[in-house]
Amino acid sequence: MWLLLIFIVVPIVEIGLFIQVGGAIGLWPTLAIVILTAIAGTALMRAQGIMTLKRLQNSLSDGTNPADPMAQGAMILVAGVLLLTPGFFTDGLGFALLLPPVRTMLIRWAASRIRTGGFTFTASTMGGGQSPKRPPQGSQTIDGDYSVLDDDDTQPPENPSGRVNR
């Protein structure tokens, strides 16, 4: 329902603003403003996107939570789409989303509305280290031998121990 309302209201607001601004300053200045806001918005979006990508890379390399830079990056992407959409209302929303305090406020608002269940995370070491998760008591280790068979082999080769590998 909300999406349908947005697709109906936003174009009506944009058409009204085009008529008002075009009537006040004329056709060509109105079109120039729309094109200049798209160019300026794209440049701002690119600069902030690069900074947010660096923050995301730093959080991943530091092992900290990358949720905030990812949410910031998603909002910058939405801002870019709004800025590339012709219109004054969408440009205003796009420029507002390029302001870090506005993005932070929206992320906090959205986070307060999202409920999550409980999660349990276990850490493991990489590079052959001992994992903190131990096998259960009484577990058995199964040792075995194998050999690779070619398609033309009909019988598997025998081991020196006399056992047949299958």
Instruction: Pick the more confident residue, 147 or 88.
Output: 88
pLDDT, position 103: 93
Task: Report the Cα 58 to chain-centroid distance in Å.
Answer: 15
Q: What is the pLDDT of residue 24?
A: 94
Dihedral sign (CA 59, 65, 70, 71): negative
What are the residue ranges spanned by the domains of the chain?
Answer: 13-113
**So what's the pLDDT on residue 121?**
56
Residues 6+ apart with CB under 8 A from 159: 145, 165
- Residue 78: is its pLDDT beyond 70? yes
Report the C-alpha gap between 14 and 8 in whole angstroms.
11
Two structure tokens written together for 70: 């990812």
CA distance 47 to 40: 11
DSSP secondary structure of 59-76: HHHHT---HHHHHHHHHH
With bands split at pLDDT 50, 70 and 90, how would you rate the model's confidence at 54?
Answer: very high
Over the stretch 31-50, which tens digit does the pLDDT of each residue have?
Answer: 999 899 889 888 988 999 89
Per-residue pLDDT, 14 = 92
> Within 63-123, where are the H helices?
67-84, 88-97, 100-113
pLDDT per position as a tens digit, 95-109: 999 999 999 999 999
pLDDT of residue 137: 64
pLDDT digits (tens, 9 = 90+) for 106-162: 999 988 888 776 666 555 555 555 545 555 666 677 777 777 777 765 665 565 555
Q: How many CA atoms lie within 13 A of 47 on its CB side?
A: 8
Does residue 23 contact residue 35 with C-beta atoms inside 8 Å?
no
Q: What is the crossing angle of helices 27-62 and 67-84, to 10°?
A: 170
**Cβ contact 75:88 at 8 Å:** no
- Local confidence band at 163 (pLDDT 50, 70, 90 cut-offs): low
